[in-house]
Amino acid sequence: MVTDKQSLENLPYVKMNPLNRFISIFYAPKETFLSLTRSKWVFVIPIIVIYAVGMICYPAMKSYLVEDQVSKLENNPLLDRLPEEQKRETIEQTRKAILDPPVWQLALGLVWQAAATFVVAGVLFLIGSTFLGGSTSYRGMLHVYSFAALVSVPEGIIKTVLIVAKKSMDVRTSLAVFLSGNDTTSMLFSLLNKIDIFSIWMVSLVVIGMSVFVPTVSPKKLAMWVVAFWVIWIVISAAVSSFAGGAFGL
């Protein structure tokens, strides 16, 4: 079995200022990923950066998030099955959790970001090595996904500005923009809303990154498998979101 160290050492390398990587990923992704082929733990930094940007943006949008979530909970058929007192208690707890989240809840956001990175990297590793038979490393996939996920930074900033300007959480940068009406809980809306310009951008970066770290497999094959798994994820998450009525951040 090829170890992480052996796999990374056999890849081409481009020298780059470590700080420049966080900007060049948006305009020179291939060179950026090539600069990561000798790195070990740099994937941790994007996780922290994404979390920090989210925490900075959160105060500006939390009042609109409360209105959105309370509205969805009040119209959620799942909560309608509960006694009225229990339903109101659930809504009030949600309101407090959004407006004044405890420290453990804020820390959980970082844990979730890290966990998602490790899980997705595992899926990418399976695609590159097991399904396509390429020579790659799990650490390389951690680099790929963590840096591709930096798309969340401009996404978070742009969407926060739009939310504040519109004074509503209903900001669409996805195919859902073509849907009329205010029904944001339907399966069709959830499905189209997952096909977002920023998500497409991130998937594109993942394919570029994998083409660097899995050089024995053609970029076309990598793209087909990554997009296929992305579509599966879209369908599953859209179904869950629709079932939950768009509440609880789903």
What was the pLDDT predicted at 244?
63
What was the pLDDT predicted at 78?
72
**Mean pLDDT in each 10-residue stretch from start to end of the chain (250 residues)?**
56 88 96 93 96 94 89 76 82 88 89 95 96 92 97 96 92 87 75 93 97 94 97 90 59
What does DSSP assign to residue 127?
I
What was the pLDDT predicted at 85?
83
What was the pLDDT predicted at 1?
43
Two structure tokens written together for 90 = 């659930």
**Half-sphere exposure (CA, 13 Å, Cβ side) for 37?**
24
Rounded Cα gap, residues 7 and 9, in angstroms: 6
What are the residues whose beta carbons fall under 8 Å from the beta carbon of 225, sequence distance 6 or more?
127, 131, 132
Rounded Cα gap, residues 111 and 223, in angstroms: 29
Would the pTM count as exceeding 0.85? yes
Question: pLDDT, tens digit, for every residue of 116-174?
Answer: 999 999 999 999 999 999 988 999 999 999 999 999 999 999 999 999 999 998 888 99
What was the pLDDT predicted at 5?
53
Determine the angle formed by the axes of helices 103-125 and 138-148, rounding to 10 degrees: 120
In 3D space, the residue among 36, 57, 71, 55 whose CA is nearest the CA of residue 141 turns out to be 36
What was the pLDDT predicted at 245?
57
What does DSSP assign to residue 101?
-
The phi-psi region of residue 217 (left if phi > 0; otherwise alpha if psi is between -120 and 50; otherwise beta) is beta
Token pair 């944001």 in the structure block, residue: 184
CA pseudo-torsion sign 139, 141, 147, 153:
negative
Which amino acid is it at 36? L
In 3D space, the residue among 228, 209, 211, 229 whose CA is nearest the CA of residue 220 turns out to be 211
Rounded Cα gap, residues 32 and 18, in angstroms: 9
Question: Where in the chain are the domains?
Answer: 4-243
